[in-house]
Amino acid sequence: MSTPLGSSMTTSHPTYAPKHQPRWQVWMDIVRRDKRPVWGLAIILFFVGLAVFAPVFTPYSPTATAFTPMMGPSARHWLGTTASGQDVWSQFVYGGRISLSVGFASGFIATVLAVALGMLPAYLGGWVDTLMATVTNIMLVIPGLPLLIVITAYVHQAGPLTIAIVIGLTGWAWGARILRSQTLTLSRRDFVTASRLAGESRWRVLVAEILPNMLSLVVANLVFATIGAILAEASLEFLGLGNPSAVTWGTMLFWANSGGALLSGAWWWIVPPGLAIALVGLGLALVNFGVDQLSNPRLRLSRVRPSKADKGAVR
Amino acid sequence: MRFVGQRLGFLVLSLWAAATINFVLPRLMPGNPAVLMIGRFKGQLSARALHALKLQFGITHQPLWHQYLIYLGNLVHGNWGLSLTYYPVPVSRIIAESLPWTLGLVGVSTMLSVLIGLVLGVYTAWHRGGSWDSVLPTMATFTAAIPYFWLGTLLLFVLGYLWHWFPLAHSYSTSLAPSLTWAFAVSVLYHALLPALTIVVSSMGGWLLGMRNNMIQTLGEDYVMFGEARGLSDRRLMVHYAARNAVLPSMTGFGMAMGFVVGGALLTEIVFSYPGVGYQLLAAVQNEDYPLMQGIFLIIAFSVLVTNFFVEILYGRLDPRTRGGDAQ
């Protein structure tokens, strides 16, 4: 160890102490000073609520072609109807179900992969680490959306589950790089050395000492992977690569585009799905402002701040 | 020099990886998509073209390594197969015709986006807590979450369809023949404005937020405070002391950002019927034209990787610390 033991004892100590109860107080402090995470959470809960309780908010089926086509918003049809006479509000409400599920599912897959492929090799070191770091860097610079388009084009009319898996499988590289550098700095810290000297097994050190200290980074990664996944899903479905009979925000935009919504002035068909995607993204990013602050003192200690620049630059 | 060699090595490695992914994917997919595609085009293609397609997508009895070597050889020689959508036009010719439009559009709008984003980032960080600082970062967070194609559609709807300020499609007026005249250049610029605006608005936020973060951190450094104590002008402190150093970390993510912007630009082209590779990609996807699709994926990946290589070389010149080990 290059750093003298005494000097960093003070820095590693607080990372030990707050385990369960104080974290809530930290949250409350952050929330009292900064309302952005609360707003973000409210936006997300709003859309999740709409999607979960969709039948409560609309009497119509999202796929029923039972109404006069291309009607503007009215008391009966809050967001008008589509070119084939479906109720846009119903589609909007039900569409959130698949769009949000796919977003969260692939965000989750990408984060699990990022933890496994970023943390483990960095902790084990040696040639595994060199190899994985190279693979990660390559995956980072190969443009993601074109790759996704090629993969989903080979799968005929990919269903939501396939899309979720493919987005998750291709979206881990950014998180893996951040988590890797954080693991490298953490595993050199004295409290990790101390617990290893105290006889804890390699696995226990990783799971019980290092992982808890990276939790906020993992959550931040989950947030951004989810935003990226929702955008990617909508892009693929907009291109017609998804299953066009599934009702999602992406397929709504696909049908609006191919149904000539633009040239017949049907703004009520185009605006809602895109706005929902953007608002959910905003909500998640706002929540992340809170997560950032939760982790900031620790981030500053481990000097991974430049990585925040990457985060900003990508998104 | 060692640094350049290292980056060159990475460039070659990543180019090879992109080419290999392209080779492996259709062979890996369940249900063999290439067989289906060839089945659909039977009768419409000449026997030679069918044979070439089978070779390209691995429906032969040759061993895999042999297919792979032939594939790499064809790639290097620019023999990227024939497009099925525009049969029998070679994929390379379609790409050669559409790539300049994409490079022009993405190049100019990325430069604008980086420039505006960085300047606004510096400004908001310098006036931290000011009225712009409370509005711009939140707005940037919002614009970064907007799907490119949706924003493009809205802009097209309002500015093009409702107000008739901008053309609805294409990259130049159809009444003009491509030529090196003033009128043609103006027409190209006019048609590019709205797609470019879409890309700039959607991609600017990331640069703004990143630069603001770095700037705030740099402004807290001792040398900035020392400069302030020496009585340097605000302008000098802001630009020459803080911004010049804060801009460096923003550039490390350039490759990733580039990939993200290019992906968004493809969709933007589709919305504006802009004749770049994105528009061709849509045609390829709709017609299940796998040779064209593969070619476009490769050319996009190659362009991003090469651009990233040059940015990193430039970055290495700007910041000696990144030149791997020897300077630190």
**Residue A106 has what pLDDT?**
95
Q: How many Cβ pairs within 8 Å bridge chains A and B?
A: 201
d(CA A87, CA A70): 10
Q: How many CB atoms lie within 10 A of CB A163?
A: 29
**Residue B129 has what pLDDT?**
76
The tens place of each residue's pLDDT in chain B, 328 residues long, gives 788 888 899 999 999 999 999 998 888 877 677 777 777 777 777 777 777 777 777 777 778 888 888 889 888 888 888 888 887 788 999 999 999 999 999 888 988 999 999 999 999 988 887 788 878 888 888 888 888 889 998 998 888 888 888 888 888 877 777 777 888 888 888 888 999 999 999 889 888 988 888 888 888 888 888 888 898 888 888 888 888 888 887 777 777 778 888 888 889 998 898 899 999 998 888 888 888 999 999 999 998 899 888 888 888 777 776 665 443 3
Chain A neighbours among B 62-101 (CB < 8 Å)?
none
Q: What percent of chain A has pLDDT over 90?
A: 30
**Residue B206 has what pLDDT?**
86
**Residue A252 has what pLDDT?**
92
Q: Judge whether residue A20 has pLDDT over 60.
A: no
Which token pair is A124?
């084990």
**ipTM metric:** 0.87
Which token pair is B266?
């493809």
- Structural domain harbouring A136: 21-62+76-314
- Directed axis angle between helix A160-170 and helix A215-238, to 10°? 130
More confident call, A49 vs B57:
A49
Q: B244, B291, B314: which is closest to B75 by C-alpha?
A: B291
Which token pair is A149?
């388009």
**Residue A296 has what pLDDT?**
56
Is A135 domain-assigned? yes
A265 CB-contact burial (10 Å; exposed 0-12 / middle 13-18 / buried 19+): middle
Q: What is the pTM of this model?
A: 0.84
Is A8 domain-assigned? no
- CATH code for the domain of A47: 1.10.3720.10
Instruction: Answer for the pair B282, A239: CB distance below 8 angstroms, yes or no.
Output: yes
Is A95 domain-assigned? yes
More confident call, A18 vs B93:
B93
Please state the rounded mean pLDDT for residues A164-193: 89
Q: B288, B312, B310, B284: which is closest to B296 by C-alpha?
A: B284
Is A141 domain-assigned? yes
> Sorting pLDDT into bands at 50, 70 and 90, what band is A295?
low
Chain mean pLDDT for chain A? 81
Q: Report how many domains make up chain A.
A: 1
CB-CB: which of A227, A240, A309 is closest to B249?
A: A309
How far B187 CA lies from chain A's nearest CA (Å)? Answer: 23
Report the first-to-last Cα separation within chain B, whole angstroms.
16
> 């559409």: which residue's tokens?
B98
Instruction: Answer for the pair A77, A272: CB distance below 8 angstroms, yes or no.
Output: no
A contact test, residue of B260, B262, B293 with most A CBs within 10 A: B260
d(CA A79, CA A56): 16
Q: Does A274 touch chain B (CB under 8 A)?
A: yes
- Residues forming beta bridges with residue A242, ordered by sequence position: A158
Chain A neighbours among B 188-207 (CB < 8 Å)?
205-207
Q: Judge whether residue A287 has pLDDT over 50.
A: yes
Is A232 domain-assigned? yes
Contacts of B283 in chain A (CB under 8 A): none
Q: What percent of chain A has pLDDT over 70?
A: 86
How far B279 CA lies from chain A's nearest CA (Å)? Answer: 11
Q: Does B142 touch chain A (CB under 8 A)?
A: yes
- Check CB contact under 8 Å for A143 and B142: no
Q: B204, B7, B304, B264: which is closest to A313 by C-alpha?
A: B204
**Residue B146 has what pLDDT?**
87
- Check CB contact under 8 Å for A313 and B157: no
Q: Judge whether residue A151 has pLDDT over 80.
A: yes
Q: Judge whether residue A5 has pLDDT over 60.
A: no
Nearest chain B residue to A307 by CA: give it.
Answer: B249
Please state the rounded mean pLDDT for residues A150-155: 88
Provide the residue type at A243 as one letter.
N
Contacts of B289 in chain A (CB under 8 A): none
A contact test, residue of B7, B133, B150 with most A CBs within 10 A: B150
Is A82 domain-assigned? yes
**Least confidently predicted of A62-71, A141-150, B319-328:** B319-328
Please state the rounded mean pLDDT for residues A157-175: 90
**Residue B323 has what pLDDT?**
63
Is A69 domain-assigned? no
Domain B92-327 has what CATH class?
A: mainly alpha
**Residue B186 has what pLDDT?**
85
Q: Judge whether residue A171 has pLDDT over 60.
A: yes
Instruction: Answer for the pair A281, B148: CB distance below 8 angstroms, yes or no.
Output: no
**Residue A13 has what pLDDT?**
41
Q: What H or E segment, with its residue span, contains residue A292?
A: helix A267-302
Report the first-to-last Cα separation within chain A, whole angstroms.
36
> Sorting pLDDT into bands at 50, 70 and 90, what band is A191?
confident
**Residue A18 has what pLDDT?**
46
> Sign of torsion, CA A147 A228 A276 B149?
negative
Which token pair is B260?
């993200």
Within chain B, all domains assigned CATH 1.10.3720.10 are found at 92-327
Contacts of A272 in chain B (CB under 8 A): none
